Amino acid sequence: MPGYEIKVQALAIDGAADLQIRSLLDNDQFADPAGAAEALGISPAQWPLFGQVWPSGLHLAAAMAIRPLLEGERILEIGCGLALASLVCHRRGAEVTASDIHPLAGAFLLENLRLNELTPMRYCHGDWSEDAVAAEGGAPRVQGRFDLIIGSDVLYERDDGGALAAFIEKHALPQCELLIVDPNRGNRAAFGKRMAGLGFEFSETVLSAEAGRPDYRGRLMRFARG
């Protein structure tokens, strides 16, 4: 791929078969020749983050590997990055839409579907910032409402205006479940208050450290309404 380097690795997902995943080689990769990422507010330091395998993403994928799936359930993954959880859901036969703001996330998802011999899966541009703009010539915006919304490490920035909660409310059915894996970031309390104001009840599970990552600390946050 011009401008950046990649790698392909087999990822072990608890409760599911391994996934073959193409990712960026490391956090030093950057390529935005047409300024597509810059136009979406993605800085050079933020640019490679979508293309890395993160512990929280692995935990979300593991949670979706064992969660019972309901017939006809519609699932949306927000800030999907490499979309590990979406891939697990899709392989299980769920109706899932992956979404991210990064202009290359859709292309990486397409390749990872091919690597795992999976059928096509819906991908949408998902930007919940207050001044959101669509990626020119890119994927369609997220449309409609969902029974289940999932995400990992999406509370990395302060959200004083409540843009993320508003985006979730826009795409959540009256009866909806929200699962967020968070590595104990400081913004989760404010997010929880906003979700409570939208009628969601909260519970959480503390996540154990990963093999090889004994320093990981996080939790699976569950919000349910209806």
Percent of the chain with pLDDT over 90: 86
More confident residue, 51 or 130: 51
Mean pLDDT on 139-159: 94
Q: Is residue 1 over pLDDT 60?
A: no
Indicate the Cα dihedral angle 149, 143, 85, 121, nearest 10°: 150
- What's residue 213's pLDDT? 66
Fold of 6-29+44-225: Rossmann fold (3.40.50)
- What's residue 135's pLDDT? 53
Q: Where are the domains of the chain?
A: 6-29+44-225
Mean pLDDT on 1-30: 94
- What's residue 139's pLDDT? 85
Q: Read off the pLDDT of residues 88-122 as tens digits, 9 standing for 90 and up.
A: 999 999 999 999 999 999 999 999 999 999 999 99
